[in-house]
Amino acid sequence: DAGVIQSPRHEVTEMGQEVTLRCKPISGHDYLFWYRQTMMRGLELLIYFNNNVPIDDSGMPEDRFSAKMPNASFSTLKIQPSEPRDSAVYFCASSLARLAGERTDTQYFGPGTRLTVL
Amino acid sequence: GENVEQHPSTLSVQEGDSAVIKCTYSDSASNYFPWYKQELGKRPQLIIDIRSNVGEKKDQRIAVTLNKTAKHFSLHITETQPEDSAVYFCAASSDRGSTLGRLYFGRGTQLTVWP
Predicted confidence (pLDDT) at residue B96 exceeds the cutoff of 80: no
Cβ <8 Å between A105 and B32: yes
For residue A100, name the pLDDT band (cuts at 50, 70, 90): low
Give dist(CA B92, CA B37) in Å, integer: 15
Give dist(CA B79, CA A90) in Å, integer: 33
Give the A window 57-96 contacts with B, CB below 8 Å.
91, 95
Substitution target in B23, B96, B103 with the highest count of A β-carbons within 10 Å is B103
Residue in B45, B89, B101 closest to A105 by CB: B101
Residue in B42, B89, B101 closest to A43 by CB: B89
pLDDT at position A46, please? 97
Q: Is A109 within 8 Å of A43 (Cβ atoms)?
A: no
Longest dimension (CA), chain B: 46
pLDDT at position A90, please? 98
For residue A1, name the pLDDT band (cuts at 50, 70, 90): low
